[in-house]
Structure formats: structure tokens, C-alpha cells
Chain A
Amino acid sequence: KAGVTQTPRYLIKTRGQQVTLSCSPISGHRSVSWYQQTPGQGLQFLFEYFSETQRNKGNFPGRFSGRQFSNSRSEMNVSTLELGDSALYLCASSPGWGLSYEQYFGPGTRLTVT
């Protein structure tokens, strides 16, 4: 089975711009979670989707949003980028929701905001 794929792998944006990141889960997985990883804060939860519905949301400003499509693929969007948004954005998929499932992570998208 192919693993979780994320596109693009690297991105450089300017402050004030917006960005859309994409995640394709493992075939058959219906849950997708997004995390932001920085050296100072570690891995922080952004949001989780299951069956096209947002099930959980982390403590991030409204500039961060996401969605999930009927084929379980997911996108996250960050508007009005700030320097502090520079981070590795990781997507993880799991078979379901409501129990504790192991998460399968993608390689991440490295976002640099200048």
C-alpha cells in the first residue's frame, strides 16, 4: 500500500500570502489529522477530519482552516501568513475515529515564510 503523501514538500511564501497544503491518506483510511511541528513547540495538533467532518480542532487562530473530501483526501489552508507560521506541517491518516488508532504520518511540507 502506498503511504501518506503530502504536496508540496517544500514551500516558500511571503508574509501576508496564503497557502494550501494537500494530503492523500493511505487507501482505505478515513481519518486525517494535521499537525504543526517547530523546534520550540514540538508537534502541535491542528485539526482532525473523519468522513468529511471536522471532529477536533486545536488551539490555532482562525487563519488555519482545513477540509476533507469524499475520497478522504484533505487540504489545509493558512491565510495571511506570518513569520511564525514557518514550520513542518505533517498530515497523518488512520483507519477510523472513535477509538485510539495508530497514526500513519506523511513526510511533511516544509513551509518557510519570509
Chain B
Amino acid sequence: SQKIEQNSEALNIQEGKTATLTCNYTNYSPAYLQWYRQDPGRGPVFLLLIRENEKEKRKERLKVTFDTTLKQSLFHITASQPADSATYLCALQNSGNTPLVFGKGTRLSVIA
């Protein structure tokens, strides 16, 4: 069956460290992978999109990698801050015509 697994439900790290979140998938062949941030009581907010032919994408302190052989994406936040505390969701899309399918998310807490 198709599955999207985000490494852990919750991740605690110290301020200033790099947070690394994992998204693994099985029985998908995604052409696109997106990452979102969700704060309590609010809708998700788009962060980054990466295509299957791209190995890595960066935006300010954020970096995403996409390894179609390992069927895995890694999401990094460098120099993490307490304001980065939120739930981070990965989402796959097999093609532009198919829906975005979300993982259950990882709740990140950055401790000052």
C-alpha cells in the first residue's frame, strides 16, 4: 500500500542547531515534493517545492533534498530559532494532474 512516513511525531532541538526532518515514501513515484509549515489552529503554509530531477533546493535557512532512489526527502533548518517551532508536513504529487498527498507531519520544538 502507499505510505508517506515522516520520521517522528515530535523532534526537540536546541536553538542554533540544525533541525533535520525526514520524509520517506513507499509505492509512490512522485514527480514533485513539497514541504509546508503548520502552526496550531492555522492552515499549512507552503515552504519549498522540489522536482524529481532536482537533488537539492535552498531558501534562506531552509534546504530540501530529494533522493528518488532512497525514496526519501530531507528537510533542514539551519541556525534554528524558537520561532521555527511548528509542525512540518511533506506532500507528494505523482504528476501535475494528481492530488497532493500529505504525510502526518513532524512537530518541531526549538528550545532556547
Q: Are B102 and A42 in contact (CB under 8 A)?
A: yes
A64 within 8 A of B: no
Q: Are A97 and B97 in contact (CB under 8 A)?
A: yes
Interface range on chain A (Cβ under 8 Å from partner): 20 to 34
Q: Are B104 and A56 in contact (CB under 8 A)?
A: no
Q: Which residues of A contact B43 (CB under 8 A)?
A: 4, 90, 92, 105-108
B86 within 8 A of A: no
Q: Which residues of A contact B99 (CB under 8 A)?
A: 33, 45, 48, 56, 58
Considering only residues 17-39 of chain B, those with a C-beta below 8 Å from chain A are: 31-32, 34, 36
A36 CB to closest chain B CB (Å) equals 11
Q: Are A105 and B104 in contact (CB under 8 A)?
A: no
Cα(A92)–Cα(B101), bound, Å: 13
Cα(A35)–Cα(B103), bound, Å: 13
Number of A-B pairs whose CB atoms are under 8 Å? 60
Contact check: which of B42, B45, B89, B98 meets A43 at CB < 8 Å? B89
Q: Are B104 and A42 in contact (CB under 8 A)?
A: yes
Considering only residues 62-112 of chain B, those with a C-beta below 8 Å from chain A are: 89, 93, 96-105
Q: Are A55 and B97 in contact (CB under 8 A)?
A: yes
Q: Are B102 and A43 in contact (CB under 8 A)?
A: yes
B8 CB to closest chain A CB (Å) equals 14
B44 within 8 A of A: yes
Q: Which residues of B contact A104 (CB under 8 A)?
A: 46
Contact check: which of A100, A106, A107 meets B31 at CB < 8 Å? A100
Specify the chain B residue showing the minimal Cβ separation from A47.
B99
